[in-house]
């Protein structure tokens, strides 16, 4: 794309929005251009931020680190390089073990991952493809390791990134420099590049 479908807004005069985006300053170190683009319709930006906060809040054993790895897997399956860079950056900021980040695509067999994490990441893969690949075997494995509330948290992450992947790839959202640096640092072995998200 020659330019993003819609450019981010200048949101600095909205006090309520500035308070809400503190969430992203913690997770990423900056407010994403995607959220600034949503702010063309403030109600969408506000609703998205509240959903994001609710999905990423930890209620039990589904850690912040695992949620970011689930988001990364979902975004990789969908092909969204913007969200791949964001999720791997957030995973690092939430102290994800380097071994897990480097071996994320060997999660089915690598010793860095528990059986419960394997089940969640498999759900992320099969829940992110079109047509959907979740079947009885995957559902049974999830119920073996996670309770219903935890499964809802995990599915919340997968669904949230389904929205973000479509938003950012269709918008051609420009990737922020800190996210580019994280992608180049942490995803070089997966041949990651900025793709359509650079202008």
Is there a domain that residue 72 lies in? yes
**Integer Cα distance of 56 and 39 in angstroms:** 21
Is there a domain that residue 169 lies in? yes
Q: How many CA atoms lie within 13 A of 107 on its CB side?
A: 22
What is the domain-level CATH number for residue 85? Answer: 1.20.1290.10
- Averaged pLDDT, 28-49: 93
Stated pTM of the model: 0.94
Is there a domain that residue 151 lies in? yes
Band of pLDDT at residue 130, cut at 50, 70 and 90: very high
SS3 132: coil
Is there a domain that residue 73 lies in? yes
Peptide bond into 131 cis (omega under 30): yes
Is there a domain that residue 67 lies in? yes
Q: Which two tokens stand for residue 126?
A: 């099969």
Tally of domains within the chain:
1
- Domain that residue 145 falls in: 60-194
Is there a domain that residue 199 lies in? no
Is there a domain that residue 48 lies in? no
**Integer Cα distance of 53 and 36 in angstroms:** 16
Is there a domain that residue 183 lies in? yes
Torsion sign across C-alpha atoms 149, 142, 27, 50: negative
Express each pLDDT in 76-100 by its tens digit: 999 999 999 999 999 999 999 999 9
Output the pLDDT for position 14.
77
Residues with Cβ within 8 Å of residue 56, at least 6 apart in sequence: 27, 64, 67, 157
* Average model confidence (pLDDT) across the chain: 94
């Amino acid at each position: 794309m020659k330019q993003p479908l819609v450019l981010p807004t200048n949101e600095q005069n909205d006090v309520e929005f500035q308070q809400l985006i503190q969430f992203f300053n913690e997770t990423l170190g900056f407010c994403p251009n995607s959220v600034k683009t949503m702010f063309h319709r403030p109600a969408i930006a506000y609703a998205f931020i509240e959903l994001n906060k609710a999905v990423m809040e930890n209620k039990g054993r589904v850690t912040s680190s695992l949620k970011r790895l689930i988001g990364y897997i979902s975004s990789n399956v969908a092909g969204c390089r913007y969200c791949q860079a964001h999720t791997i950056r957030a995973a690092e900021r939430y102290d994800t073990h380097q071994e897990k980040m480097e071996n994320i695509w060997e999660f089915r067999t690598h010793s860095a991952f528990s059986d419960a994490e394997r089940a969640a990441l498999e759900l992320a893969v099969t829940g992110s493809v079109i047509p959907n690949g979740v079947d009885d075997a995957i559902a049974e494995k999830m119920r073996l390791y996670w309770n219903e509330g935890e499964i809802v948290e995990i599915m919340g992450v997968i669904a949230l990134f389904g929205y973000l992947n479509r938003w950012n790839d269709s918008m051609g959202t420009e990737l922020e420099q800190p996210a580019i640096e994280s992608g180049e640092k942490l995803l070089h072995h997966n041949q990651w590049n900025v793709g359509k998200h650079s202008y």
